[in-house]
A = this chain, B = another copy of it.
């Protein structure tokens, strides 16, 4: 069967390293494919097997993948002895990591136009070198602040005119999406960053006939929200407030300690409650960086609701998860599904993949079970 490339933006981050290490471990029979949605018997065999995935990517740090994996081993994200057992695969993936684009970095790319060309060439060369049928670019790099709107985002021609003029107008995630589309690759926006959501980029994806999906992988508190909110709705229980506090460490936590980046994540997290209920629901979602939690997250949610004859009741939950372990298998799922959709001729946003995201591109349901039913139907179509 054809091999498929997984090109990770942020290839040396926690999620990327866990995904790369995990695929190697499963291929070597060292771990079962737990946490991989598409490995369940509910999914057709036409998806590329996990062993058929080849890894590469862009990053702006130089820490070798093997060292990152060892750090994750000490942090309990991957089994401590795993990195040694899959060292060859890690080194192979490491050899495929190219320098990312640092906005405003003088010795790097001259301007965004040059950067886009260079990034696209990196991906195309990877595809050729490994004789890959297709490459899916997955953004798992640090979350950006929300981007201010600009007139040239509305049309591809205007955007390309600005880029050609040497202006740096795109947020990094959108630059990566631009490069991916130009290189004829499907794209997954796993972060809450802007990525492919600009109209100009939707135009480009249509032009290049490439599919994309996003935004912001749904792995923890929001996952639970999307399972619980429909319960209240179907029971005609009126949710009055939904409040939450997320405590997390790790690289992602450190990034989100910056209020600008945090606001991207908070906007994303608020979609589910707003999407499931008709009436407005009070409450805020806080995100705190707590270095001591390392790669772990603890989230507490508190919900008040009104039932028969106005009686007030409450539900609270505490979620204790390892974000990278939750996200990594979804990266593999998404790469397989987007590659197959690409192969079958789908292009533009894939709302059928809303199951995986806090803020589904292309619209659609926020209720988890409905999203899953839609995902399974989509997988059926792809078979």
Contacts and interface: CB of A to CB of B under 8 A. Distances in A.
Interface of A: 18, 21-22, 25, 31, 33-37, 39-40, 76-80, 82, 223-224, 227-228, 230-231, 234-238, 240-241, 243, 245, 247, 282-284, 286, 288, 290-293, 298, 300, 302, 304, 306-322, 325-326, 328-329, 355, 367-370, 372-373
B80 A309 contact: no
A111 to B, nearest CB: 39
A310 B228 CA distance: 25
Given A224-B315, A304-B290, A308-B325, A243 B235 contact: no
Contact of A286 (B223, B286, B320, B325): B286
Contact of A300 (B39, B79, B302, B307): B302
A291 B291 CA distance: 30
A319 B315 contact: yes
A227 B231 contact: yes
A292 B317 CA distance: 19
A373 B39 CA distance: 25
Nearest to A33: B236
14 contacts: A31-B310, A39-B236, A78-B309, A230-B369, A241-B292, A243-B247, A282-B290, A300-B300, A300-B316, A313-B325, A315-B319, A318-B318, A367-B369, A369-B369
A-B residue pairs, 6 tightest by C-beta? A369-B369, A35-B308, A317-B317, A227-B231, A311-B325, A240-B292
Given A34-B236, A288-B243, A311 B224 contact: no
B34 A306 contact: yes
Contact of A245 (B78, B292, B300, B313): B300
Contacts of A238: 34
A56 B381 CA distance: 53
Contact of A368 (B82, B231, B316): B231
Given A35-B237, A300-B302, 7 more contacts: A34-B309, A35-B307, A36-B236, A234-B368, A245-B245, A298-B302, A316-B317
A311 B243 contact: no
B227 A18 contact: no
Given A311-B325, A320-B315, A369-B370, A236 B76 contact: no
B34 A307 contact: yes
Contacts of A369: 230, 234, 367-370
A65 B359 CA distance: 49
Contacts of A40: 234, 236
